[in-house]
C-alpha cells in the first residue's frame, strides 16, 4: 500500500515511449489564440488582462535591461501554472513533481542570470560574494559561504517546487483513501473526511498557482541582482 502511493509520480510510458513529452506539450494547446477581430471574447480578454497584470508586477523592480526577459518569464509562469493545475485532475500525471524536470528549468535560467551579471557588471556580480565592511579574518570564510549559497539557488528552486507538489498530492491520496475505507464502516467520519479532502483540494489549487509564481518571482530577483 505504501509503495502504491508513490506510483502516481512515476513517468508513464506507452510502448516504451515516455509520455512526459505529451504532458509538457498539452498546456500550449489549451491556451486560446487571439483573433484578428477588434473585439475578443471574454476568455481571451481575461487571459490578456491576467498576463498584463502579472507582467507589470513581475517587471516592477527590474530596470529596462531586465524587461527583455518579460516574454520568457511570463511564458514560464503560464506553463508551470497549467502543468500544476492539470496535475490535480484525476488520472493525470504532473511533470513538475519530477525533480529532474524542475532542475532542468531552474539550472539553465539561473546560470543565464549569473552569466549576464558576469558579462555586464563583473565587479558588482563578484561583489555579492563579499559583503561590505567584512573583517579581514572572515573574508575567506564568507567568500566560501556566499559561493555555496549562490550554487544552492537552483537546487532550492527545483526542490521547493517538487516538494510542495509532491506533498500535496500525497496528502490528497492519503485522505481520499481514508474516506473510501471509512465509508462503509463509519459514514459520518467518512463525510467529515471528504469535507477535509475538498478543502485540501482547494488549498492545493492555491499552492499550484503560488508555487509557479514563487518559482518565476525568485528567478526575477536573481535577474535583478545581475542586471
CA distance 135 to 110: 30
For the chain, the domain total comes to 1
**Residue 177, Cβ neighbours under 10 Å: how many?**
14
pLDDT at 184: 86
pLDDT tens figures, 5-55: 666 667 777 777 777 777 787 777 777 676 677 767 787 788 888 888 888
Find the domain containing 128 and state its range.
5-224
pLDDT at 112: 92
Interval 150-170 mean pLDDT: 91
CA distance 193 to 187: 10
> Could you tell me the pTM of the whole model?
0.83
pLDDT tens figures, 182-215: 888 888 988 999 999 999 999 999 999 999 999 9
User: Which residues lie closer than 8 Å to 157 by C-beta, 6 or more apart?
Assistant: 102, 105, 106, 110, 215, 218, 219
pLDDT tens figures, 58-106: 888 787 777 888 888 888 988 899 889 888 888 778 888 888 889 999 9
**What does the DSSP assignment read for 4-52?**
HHTGGGSPPEETTEETHHHHHHHHHHHSPPP-SSSS--HHHHHHHHHHH
Amino acid at each position: 500500500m505504501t509503495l502504491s502511493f508513490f506510483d502516481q509520480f512515476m513517468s508513464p510510458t506507452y510502448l516504451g515511449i515516455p509520455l512526459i513529452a505529451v504532458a509538457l506539450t498539452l498546456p500550449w494547446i489549451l491556451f486560446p489564440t487571439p483573433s484578428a477581430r477588434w473585439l475578443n471574447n471574454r476568455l481571451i480578454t481575461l487571459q490578456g488582462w491576467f498576463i498584463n497584470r502579472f507582467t507589470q508586477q513581475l517587471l516592477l523592480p527590474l530596470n529596462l535591461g531586465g524587461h527583455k526577459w518579460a516574454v520568457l518569464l511570463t511564458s514560464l509562469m503560464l506553463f508551470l501554472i497549467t502543468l500544476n493545475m492539470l496535475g490535480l485532475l484525476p488520472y493525470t500525471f504532473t511533470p513538475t513533481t519530477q525533480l529532474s524536470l524542475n532542475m532542468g528549468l531552474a539550472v539553465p535560467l539561473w546560470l543565464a542570470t549569473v552569466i549576464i551579471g558576469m558579462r555586464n557588471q563583473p565587479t558588482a556580480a563578484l561583489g555579492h560574494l563579499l559583503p561590505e565592511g567584512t573583517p579581514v579574518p572572515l573574508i575567506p570564510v564568507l567568500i566560501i559561504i556566499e559561493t555555496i549559497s549562490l550554487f544552492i539557488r537552483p537546487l532550492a528552486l527545483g526542490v521547493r517546487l517538487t516538494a510542495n507538489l509532491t506533498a500535496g498530492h500525497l496528502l490528497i491520496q492519503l485522505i481520499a483513501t481514508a474516506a473510501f475505507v471509512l465509508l462503509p464502516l463509519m459514514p459520518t467520519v467518512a463525510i467529515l473526511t471528504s469535507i477535509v479532502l475538498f478543502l485540501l483540494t482547494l488549498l492545493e489549487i492555491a499552492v499550484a498557482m503560488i508555487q509557479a509564481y514563487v518559482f518565476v518571482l525568485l528567478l526575477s530577483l536573481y535577474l535583478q541582482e545581475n542586471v
